[in-house]
Chains A and B, each alone.
Chain A
């Protein structure tokens, strides 16, 4: 079959935007088996699959898709999970358009094969069947500590447990999942999917100690002294940045982390049955245009805001969010104020936000990198009436854990310096995920957890061998 004859990409069934903007149920409903097989048939089964180069963990893409095309979903699941421990999650949240699907050969002439949607389909199918417990190597009688239960820590813990280690995860919050639980909303990533993955970890014998802030209740040196052979730090990039403009501490200005955590982790959308309140006004401005900003904007709509504006300094092209989320936000009625930046938040006499002063930008001459950077248009200031501001202009590394480790090398921004395999400046201390790279993606965090698990195994085995001599 020539490329031209490829059938159209199977659309993703979704909840109607008019309905879903009022509920927290998942937006994308998933393929049917017929759709999945049809879509799988669009894959050319390339000998040198470009798509795999685009995937940070090199999922066996053509292989699992072939199995889907044949209708052998059990086989597809095994092939998929060979490289990706959390496919139900990645299928939903990976920025496929800049990773696997960006490289797919079909995408040159037509739309690329819907790799992410197929991945999700297979993973969901397997979950419904009840996934078999993965095989475990014989117990080694050696303990490893993992700090942080986000995708990096969870993946590292799972791989170590499979290798036969006794793994304990120390997590600051009262539940596992990291951003998957507190940040990414239910309507994009249902929490029971994350919980199932966490249950799988328990089946592997991984112990989880919640409410354990490393750097406070315990620290890395103590863990190493208390019988843990190695420590993996996967503490993420959880510290919210603010703009540093006047009025930012007024009532009604929230970090996206606060707004989303109240909603997701604390189930604020079920207030008052769940007792944590979440506040959203009538007119909401969300600062930023990444995944976090889209999530905050769409959450605000669902909580009853009348108008939600994304305020972003650059143009549509530069918005860092996943394409699908931007599209969904548009469909649901989020308004985009591009080439615009806030300069001041204005309060009323009670200390509440009542307006925001913004300035407009235009794209200037291309700079050395060829990118046209925005320049403020003089005299373009204007005031918009709003009552809530959600700041989502990025996050930095939380220093609680790292500060407590003497001699741990950090970079200028406070991220841990680690090599490809997660080795830090201290023997026995490994790190990966957002705490090393800065805010990135779920799949990169998982990839880092995986590599560190391998490096930790090597390290512990080498140490044991040395002792034996």
Chain B
């Protein structure tokens, strides 16, 4: 059992949990994720390790309520237990002292995964330009934390309700204009945003790392649900990734693959709404 020791509500659909999972916290590194299963009947849900405290033995997850699984998760409170937590999974981000500044871009809940990466990049001695963006002010979080691990932080909202009005891609273009020796870019967020960033950086030939979030199940390379097409190769995001060279990723395919269970997800949401009417499936 893995108790929730802290909960923060950033917006009606974006929430934070600190979860006690000492063995995961002990090994967690920037760029890695974990998988949780809330209870006996729950799905296995992959979430990024947004932060960790090795002494307290906790890991931090920030999640957006998308479908039935994450909505149910959002209903849990401090003191509730999560049945299963497995991690850290995936390959850690490759952190080194780069020859030239780096930029790191987080969109929406993608702000969570970029924080530990930015921190590690800064600790390695890099000049880190951070850009965070969301649709509106309500969906932003961790501005101060991000500021503390970057040389410069640019905050954007699509609607201009806070920070600079516009998309993160525009902010990145400005950073590049002022720093044409930009060595590396990380971009994490919704697939359309990551694709847009890779399209912006492609002409610059700046290596751009994205973190793919395909459907997953086991997270250990056993099922292949997380297949991603990278260049001519098929990769399993859970063990080969989740980070890949964004200029090689087939985003079109990746987005289509996210919709495989669309019909079932609708049924699950409907079932969640009627949860209290009782009645099981009678097949177990």
Contact = CB atoms under 8 A, between A and B. Distances in A.
Given A212-B23, A279-B260, A217 B43 contact: no
A267 B284 CA distance: 9
A459 interface: no
A350 B234 CA distance: 19
8 contacts: A23-B283, A210-B84, A217-B88, A249-B229, A274-B281, A275-B68, A277-B261, A400-B220
Contact of B84 (A211, A240, A274): A211
A408 interface: no
Chain A interface bracket (under 10, 10 to 19, 20 to 34, 35 or more): 35 or more
B264 A218 contact: no
A398 B221 contact: yes
A360 to B, nearest CB: 27
B206 interface: no
B217 interface: yes
A172 B86 contact: yes
B42 interface: yes
Contact of B83 (A174, A238, A267, A351): A174
B158 to A, nearest CB: 27
Given A218-B23, A239-B221, 10 more contacts: A216-B87, A239-B222, A248-B234, A267-B284, A269-B283, A272-B264, A277-B267, A279-B264, A398-B222, A400-B220
A213 B199 CA distance: 36
B179 interface: no
Contact of B253 (A210, A249, A273): A249
- By secondary structure, the B interface counts as mixed
Interface of B: 23-24, 27, 37, 41-44, 68-69, 72, 83-89, 217-218, 220-225, 227, 229, 234, 239, 252-253, 256-257, 259-261, 264-265, 267-268, 270-271, 280-281, 283-284
Contacts, number: 126
B271 A272 contact: yes
A239 B238 CA distance: 12
Contacts of B239: 400
A394 interface: no
A130 to B, nearest CB: 23
A248 B235 CA distance: 12
B260 A249 contact: no
A261 interface: yes
Contact of B224 (A213, A242, A351): A242
Nearest to A255: B224
Contacts of B281: 270, 273-274
B41 A275 contact: yes
Contacts of B267: 271-272, 277
A252 interface: yes
Contact of B257 (A173, A210, A249, A272): A249
Contact of B86 (A174, A238, A248, A254): A174
B257 A251 contact: yes
A421 interface: no
Interface of A: 23-24, 172-174, 210-213, 216-218, 238-240, 242, 248-249, 251-252, 254-255, 257-258, 261-262, 266-267, 269-277, 279, 350-352, 398-400
Contacts of B44: 266, 276
A263 B229 CA distance: 26
A270 B40 CA distance: 13
A268 to B, nearest CB: 9
B241 to A, nearest CB: 14
A326 to B, nearest CB: 25
B265 A277 contact: yes
Determine which residue in B24, B223, B281 has the highest number of CB atoms from chain A within 10 A of its CB, and name it. B223
A174 B84 contact: yes
A262 B217 contact: yes
B55 to A, nearest CB: 18
Contacts of B271: 272-273
Contacts of A248: 234
Contact of A271 (B84, B234, B260, B268): B268
A257 B222 contact: yes
Given A174-B83, A174-B86, A216-B27, A275 B42 contact: yes
Contacts of A218: 23, 27
Nearest to B254: A249
Nearest to A260: B223
A270 B267 CA distance: 13
Given A211-B85, A272-B268, A272-B271, A258 B225 contact: yes
Contacts of A351: 252-253, 256-257
A380 to B, nearest CB: 28
A257 B42 contact: no
Nearest to B24: A217
A266 B43 contact: yes
Nearest to B83: A174
B223 A255 contact: yes
A151 to B, nearest CB: 16
B84 A277 contact: no
The 4 closest A-B pairs by CB, nearest first: A277-B264, A351-B256, A211-B86, A258-B223
A266 B217 contact: yes
B88 A400 contact: no
A261 B223 contact: yes
Contact of A217 (B23, B69, B84, B252): B23
A261 B88 CA distance: 21
Nearest to A259: B223
Contacts of A242: 224, 234
A173 B221 CA distance: 12
B235 to A, nearest CB: 10
A240 B222 contact: yes
B222 to A, nearest CB: 4
Contacts of B89: 213, 216
A276 B35 CA distance: 14
